[in-house]
Structure 1
């Protein structure tokens, strides 16, 4: 059992490089992505995945191995062909070329992701039954102290206009853990103003990746 405080954590928004075409993905614990020579991806590189497999589409992860024509993503277990139909995982990889910090964060709010249910009652039942249907879409809002000179303002404004899917990274030093996910940004640079309070803005993110990936620091 383990737990840690989030104090000292930092959050970053990624800038993606050009897409690298993926012509095939293996069904393996540690999925192997087939790419063309000259992909220039190295072990440890962070990538945003686009895939025909919806469970890993928009996932952000690290390269765990590579050859001249393949890239392995160790955190992906695609062995179950019921969820990962053979031959259907093609798409692309985008290397995260740089990161811009979201600084001065005072609050993090998460919403959505809760399980939805359909209710059914048979003639012989004296009570209704709940049948799990879908999970609600997830969103995340950061409250940050306003400073229009920060580089993140231009990055978020551009992402808001383009609608691009962004890679996000959070490092929690007390947990010795890096976390990755992806989202589309909505940003209004108009600060919230109140007497005797620090002015703030709230970049909001519509989560796109189904899962968050976790990497513990090397021992």
Structure 2
């Protein structure tokens, strides 16, 4: 099943994120509860835009479940502050078909050092993730359709949520682009195409 984050609470300031097996995020009077899904904006590039599940919430802090920030090369101590916002509503996208995904693959770079006679292949990060699918054109006017129209027009950040048959959930930070022009094909239903442009790392969680 597919869901789109249609609304968010206002951003709240994050004053510190710890380097830990599961990062502790300091955010005064955040109001979050265990199990909430929030989006993090952080000075750490590997955490920026990422969707996380709230765990062990207290008045002024919470744990970002399964977010490991112990590597201070990737997560320099004291530089992860930013902001956080809670997802208020996920709306299910019904009657979708022809899903596809590309990107997310390693980007190899081949170099040859002057003092060596063989080339070396290095990994230079990962390519951007893009996904696409089509929806039944008769979904026009539904809450999910309207949400995607608004997100397409504003090109603001959102989160795509996938629920697998196992109950596991995958959250993809992204922007959405809905093509409102109906696609016509003989012998097939009329559809609208939707593009999902990832702008951060995905997060996968087991069913609660």
Normalising to structure 2: TM-score of the pair?
0.92
Q: Distance in 1 between the 2:107 and 2:3 partners?
A: 31
Deviation for aligned residue 1:121: 4.0
1:162 is aligned to 154
1:34 is aligned to 26
Q: Distance in 1 between the 2:147 and 2:197 partners?
A: 16
Deviation for aligned residue 1:82: 1.2
Conservation of the 8 A alpha-carbon contact between 1:29 and 1:74: no
Q: 1:73 to 1:193 in 2, by over 3 A?
A: same
| 2:86 aligned residue (80, 91, 95) | 95
Query: In the TM superposition, what whole-angstrom CA distance separates every residue of 1:126-181 from its partner, at most 9, and x where no partner exists?
Result: x64433223221111012211212222211111112121101211112x2212212
Q: Distance in 1 between the 2:13 and 2:113 partners?
A: 51
Q: Distance in 1 between the 2:161 and 2:100 partners?
A: 16
- What does 1:1-219 correspond to in 2, within 5 Å? 10-14=1-5, 15-37=7-29, 39-121=30-112, 125=117, 128-147=119-138, 148-173=140-165, 175-210=166-201, 212-218=202-208
Q: Distance in 2 between the 1:17 and 1:149 partners?
A: 24
Q: Distance in 2 between the 1:186 and 1:136 partners?
A: 19
1:5 is aligned to none
Normalising to structure 1: TM-score of the pair?
0.87
Q: Distance in 2 between the 1:57 and 1:47 partners?
A: 12
Aligned residue for 2:174, secondary structure, equals strand
Q: Which runs of 5+ in 2 are unaligned?
A: none
Deviation for aligned residue 1:102: 1.4
Aligned-residue RMSD, C-alpha: 1.6
